[in-house]
Amino acid sequence: MPTMLTSQTARSDQTVLDLLIRSGALLEGHFLLSSGLHSPHYVQCARMLESPGRAEIAGRFLADLAKELKVDVVVGPALGGIVIAHETARALETRCIFTERQSGTMALRRGFDLRPGERALIVEDVVTTGKSTLEVRDEIEAHGAKVVGYACIVNRSGGERLAGMPLLGLVRVDLTTFEPADCPHCLEKEALIKPGSREA
């Protein structure tokens, strides 16, 4: 499975790839992704991020990629994006807030707010279809702030842009996915595992 992960030429990318492998973040089975797709593989970034030292390294590398965006605030979706968003914000020396689901919709809660025109970077652990990332964008824009880019540890989207803006990823992943109706693991009646945090 590690051969399905590729890093770019930057040394930082190879370092994070090594951290993912060494932390046991690469899983095999029958997984339900937050996108609704099924996959025989899953990258559980939480396994890497449980180490504060590894989280700090990844956050610093993402901050290096995003420094030209002149970020005022980093926003991460709960739960998967919170730790890496916080570490990225720390490296950028800016504040960090997070969104969470309320009645199935991404929302800012806990007194978090954004100022009109504030430049926001959305940080995730993994981006596949970008569905939840764009939900965070909509909430940010509803508060009058401006999204200037997206960043993630693992980019499964297959592209370097999302909704016309930069998608900064440390590691690219090419893992097989299936629509539920076409999933061979479902046909074999293999148990479906939902490892992510998204409920709707």
Ordered domains of the chain (ranges, CATH):
2-187 (3.40.50.2020)
Q: What is the pLDDT of residues 125-146, one digit of tens each?
A: 999 888 999 999 999 999 999 9
Question: In the predicted model, what is the mean pLDDT of the chain?
Answer: 88
pLDDT at 39 over 50: yes
For residue 184, what are the CA distances in angstroms to 36, 146, 151, 173, 178?
A: 15, 42, 32, 21, 8
pTM, two decimals, is: 0.83
Average pLDDT estimate for 38-50: 92
Say how many CA atoms lie within 13 Å of 148 toward its Cβ. 16
Average pLDDT estimate for 95-100: 96
Percent of the chain scored above 90 by pLDDT? Answer: 66
Q: Hey, CA dihedral for 105, 109, 164, 84, is it positive or negative?
A: negative
Please tell me the distance from the alpha carbon of residue 167 to that of residue 150, in angstroms, as a whole number.
Answer: 5
What does the pLDDT read at residue 87? Answer: 98
Q: What is the pLDDT of residues 136-175, one digit of tens each?
A: 999 999 999 999 999 999 998 888 889 889 999 999 877 7
Residue 111 confidence class, pLDDT cut points 50, 70, 90? confident
